[in-house]
Amino acid sequence: MRLLAAVDLGEGLESVVESAHFLQEGLGIPAELLHVVPTPYFEALGRRFPHLRPGLEEALSQVEKEVQKTLADTGLRARVLRGFPAQVVAGEALKSRLVLLGQRGTGTLEVLARGGLARYLLHRGEVPVLLLPRALKAVRRIAVGLDDSPASLSAFRVAEAWGRALGAEVFGLHLVSGQGGCCFPTYLDPEGLALTEVLAQAKAHLEQLLKATGVVEVSKGDEELDLLRLAKAREADLLVLGSKAKSTWRHRLGRMVEVLSSQSSMPLLVVPEATVW
């Protein structure tokens, strides 16, 4: 199995490559770059205008050679395939431990990482996805966004495994909001309790589920981005979230994953519930 870094040649290429090098060494798993040449449009042109086929094929072959050379210069294993990018990447993801996607710049995959491609992979729920708005080149602290779901607990276990491999501290963050906010604590009855009591009971509940003490911080927060702000305030290098989705329904991902997968300014690892690292 491998770490699969799906790339194009946009300005985020270097960040993804740097992250792949770091994780290859830190996790002890070989990394491979994958670039997909989006050929369906050109294939349709060839069918409509048969006289263009030879020229189109020659151009595509030249593109493949140039891209392969560029990726080979990174020092990582690399492959160049043809097809519809989302489908090809999803198929290759099944043979991978992790998929890395850039989220910076205006290149095709980088734009899709904030929309179709990332959402497609996250909804399939088959492999962890690491979204990279910037390079991940050192990890000292890993924050895990927690609730009391099995997906959240799975994410914490994966984060613990990464922490052991990378020599990083792992801690959980949990938000509590009022009714109508992002994070109403349905696992307890907050009526009649002071905020300090709610926070203390939430912390005890989560640490009992994790079978660990002193690793969870509970804070008041009314919107999903409050979790990102809290992770930054605690100087986390990586934020980890669990996802229970394996569905085409938009909100089966959960609002926290929905919001942060498109708006996080720090590296975000989304872990499917069934993941074992």
Domain shared by 204 and 161, yes or no: yes
* pLDDT surpasses 60 at 249: no
Characterize the bridge pairing of strands 98-102 and 77-83: unpaired
Query: Residue 223 domain-assigned?
Result: yes
Query: 120 and 179: one domain?
Result: no
* 186 & 78 share domain: no
Q: Does a structural domain hold residue 154?
A: yes
Q: Kindly state whether residues 85 and 145 are assigned to the same domain.
A: no
Structural domain ending residue among the three candidates 82, 101, 132: 132
Quick one: which H or E segment has residue 169? strand 169-176
- List, for residues 195-206, the tens digit of each pLDDT value: 889 899 999 999
Longest dimension (CA), the chain: 77
**Cβ-count burial of 21 within 10 angstroms (0-12 exposed, 13-18 middle, 19+ buried)?**
middle
Let me know whether 155 and 249 are in one domain.
yes
> Is there a domain that residue 277 lies in?
no
Range of the domain at 156: 141-272
pTM of the model: 0.90
Residues β-bridged to residue 34? 6, 79
Comparing CA positions, the residue from 226, 231, 229, 257 lying closest to residue 242 is: 257
Count: domains in the chain: 2
Q: What is the pLDDT of residues 30-87, one digit of tens each?
A: 999 999 999 999 999 999 999 999 999 999 999 999 999 999 999 999 999 999 999 9
Looking at residue 114, its pLDDT comes to 46
Q: Is 231 helix (H, G, I), strand (E, B) or coil?
A: helix
Distance CA 153, CA 108 (A): 34
Confidence at 104, pLDDT banded by 50, 70, 90: low
User: φ and ψ at 17, to 5 degrees?
Assistant: -60, -45
Examine the domain organization and report whether 145 and 55 are in the same domain: no
Confirm if 31 and 76 have CB atoms less than 8 A apart.
Answer: yes
CATH code (residue 267):
3.40.50.620
